[in-house]
Amino acid sequence: MKLNLAAVMKAVSLVSVLVAPKLGVARSEITVIGSGSIQFAFAALGLIRFFSA
């Protein structure tokens, strides 16, 4: 199964709406941390695929 970056980013934004009030922080903080982590992971996976091909 191949993950779609856009779908994962949307999931992060939806999760941030639920998690932010529980942590007492802004939704944008959770969104930025989550999206940055996801983009880094996708970049690392792309680099691994590039060097293994």
Residue 1 has pLDDT above 90, yes or no: no
Q: Does this model's pTM top 0.85?
A: no
Query: Which one, of 14, 12, 16, lies nearest residue 42 by Cα?
Result: 12
Phi then psi for residue 26, to 5 deg, are -75, 150
Residue written as token pair 């993950």: 3
pLDDT tens string 5-52: 999 999 999 999 999 999 999 999 999 999 999 999 999 999 999 999
Which H or E element spans position 34?
Answer: helix 27-52
Residue written as token pair 């639920």: 18
Cβ pair 30, 23 in contact under 8 A: yes
Q: Specify the pLDDT at position 49.
A: 93
Query: Which one, of 44, 12, 43, lies nearest residue 28 by Cα?
Result: 12
